[in-house]
């Protein structure tokens, strides 16, 4: 319907019956443009159907309701979120919350490392103190006679087997 948009007589005919003069002009227009005849028959049929509908008063916010319905139809259907998406969602949109979580995590890691280092230092200090007490009890000359201790490990295996046989 290219010419129907510019033809005020055509629009008037859709709203009310045409006068004889308007009918003559419309027939001349249809003879010049055959595609207009198809469009005119479609529009006339649509108007006839619309006239058959009962007239009900529209609500005061009818336009708003129509626009909301259009927006809801235009929105894509919501996909169910996975567990990772569910956990990640609040942090994605709040940069300050994300920075807070990162800061608390780094703080916990730093404190854990500090506690670990302190405990290992305490363990090392206790072992040094224990060695100090042992060195006071042991005579250094006992440690000088290491040759006797070394020879104890080189006992022949046959002696052990004889001892085992004797104990059984």
What is the spatial distance between Cα 38 and Cα 45, in angstroms, rounded to a whole number?
A: 11
Cβ partners under 8 Å of residue 25, min gap 6:
9
| The pLDDT of residue 41 | 80
The structure tokens listed for 147 are 């040759």
| Distance between CA atoms of residues 124 and 118, nearest Å | 10
The tens-digit pLDDT sequence of the chain (168 residues) is 445 555 555 555 556 677 788 778 878 888 888 788 888 788 878 878 877 887 778 788 888 888 888 887 776 767 777 777 766 666 566 777 778 888 999 999 999 999 999 999 999 999 888 887 776 666 666 666 667 667 766 666 566 777 778 887
- pLDDT score recorded for residue 165: 80
- Token readout for 60 is 């005061």
Provide the phi-psi class of 66: left if phi over 0, else alpha when psi is between -120 and 50, else beta.
alpha
CA dist 158 to 90, 148, 151, 152, Å? 76, 20, 16, 14
């Amino acid at each position: 319907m290219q010419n129907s948009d510019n033809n005020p007589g055509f629009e008037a005919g859709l709203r009310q019956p045409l006068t004889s003069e308007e009918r003559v002009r419309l027939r001349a227009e249809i003879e010049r443009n055959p595609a207009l005849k198809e469009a005119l028959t479609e529009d006339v049929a649509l108007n006839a159907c619309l006239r058959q509908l009962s007239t009900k008063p529209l609500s005061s916010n009818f336009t708003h309701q129509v626009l909301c319905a259009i927006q809801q139809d235009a929105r894509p259907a919501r996909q169910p979120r996975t567990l990772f998406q569910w956990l990640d969602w609040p942090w994605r949109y709040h940069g300050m919350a994300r920075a807070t979580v990162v800061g608390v995590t780094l703080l916990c890691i730093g404190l854990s490392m500090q506690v670990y280092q302190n405990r290992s230092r305490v363990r090392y200090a206790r072992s040094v103190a224990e060695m100090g007490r042992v060195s006071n009890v042991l005579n250094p000359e006992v440690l000088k006679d290491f040759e006797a201790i070394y020879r104890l490990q080189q006992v022949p295996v046959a002696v052990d087997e004889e001892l085992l046989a004797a104990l059984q």
